[in-house]
Amino acid sequence: MRRTLLGAATLLGVGLVACLGPYPNVAEKLDGVDLVNGTSYIALDAGAARILILAPFDGGTVAPFTRIDEHQPRAVQTLQGTYSGDATNTLKVTFSSTTLFSLPDEASKPVSDRRGASRTELSPPMQSIAHIDTSTDQVLDLSGSADIAGHYLALLQRTVLLTGTDATVTACAFHLANLAVESSEARIPGFNSAGLTQYLNREEPFDGILSGTVTIGLVGLFSPVTTNTFRNYADFEGVVLDGVQVSSTDTGGNGSLSGVLGFRIGRAGLPPLEGAVDYREVTITGGNESGNYLVTLDGGTTVRVPTGHRVPPLEQCLGVQ
């Protein structure tokens, strides 16, 4: 389930400063993401996903990384920084995080009370020590600091399990694509809160961690329409997004979603699995979604995937025990 692009008019009661969001200087560059092109790994814990992207050292001793946590029921935290090896212990790795993108789960709060997505520069950098327990072309086991540790699997090696166009595969493909949607939301300051009014009558692009952009724009203050446009957008290996999501709400965050978002699921050694999600059966009440996503894989029939917790879970989709 993606978070709703909330109605901006709810801000009228919380004052001008809140309306401007966490970055009131329009000239300030909102997007502070680092591009990290490397291998994407996924770890799963009771349905929650942790994605770790490690760029290669390329002959050096320090390289960029990104860690994306998607917590159930709905919250996203993304860390970015660098990681380095230890000359005296080849199994020891130090992660130095310099930026945190955060989107808290605020479904129980009224729209006007939500903090929404934010970016925090970590100074001094947050240090995390990990130990390499297993490292193969398909598995990476890291122990140590809780914010990095996990039983990781190379994502493109797991998506090969998604074949055909039946209802289960269709739902699994959507859930993977939606991880990228949720990851993008954590990077848009003010998303899912009153802070969205900073995009009123203008458009702001945000780079994907691997490629492409997502551009957010808002028109109308009393009957706001918010549009997210994805162009070749990728935050990690295995999912690329193209298309639009549109939210039309009233001042209480009540309304509906529309638009069609295409996706491509990469699979090692196989052609990508391509499809699209149509949002026209999703309604919004108090800023929260209900209804169904209409998902179609190329060559298949349309499947109604309910909003809420993922069914089937990602563990089943990716064959993780």
Domain ranges of the chain: 31-155, 158-318
- The distance of Cα 214 from the centroid of its chain, to the nearest Å, equals 11
- Mean pLDDT along residues 29-45: 79
- pLDDT per position as a tens digit, 40-93: 999 999 889 999 999 998 888 899 999 999 986 679 999 999 999 887 788 999
Q: Which residues contact 15 (CB under 8 A, 6 or more apart)?
A: none
pLDDT above 60: residue 8: no
Beta pairing class for 260-267 and 255-258: unpaired
Half-sphere exposure of residue 155, counting CA atoms within 13 Å on the CB side? 25
Beta pairing class for 139-144 and 203-207: unpaired
| pLDDT at residue 40 in the model | 97
Please state, rounded to an integer, the average pLDDT across all residues of the chain. Answer: 88
- Mean pLDDT along residues 278-307: 95
Distance CA(214)–CA(227), nearest Å, equals 10
- pLDDT per position as a tens digit, 103-158: 999 888 888 888 889 999 999 999 999 999 999 999 999 999 999 999 999 999 99
Among left, alpha and beta (phi > 0; psi -120 to 50; other), residue 156 is alpha
The Cα diameter of the chain in Å comes to: 62
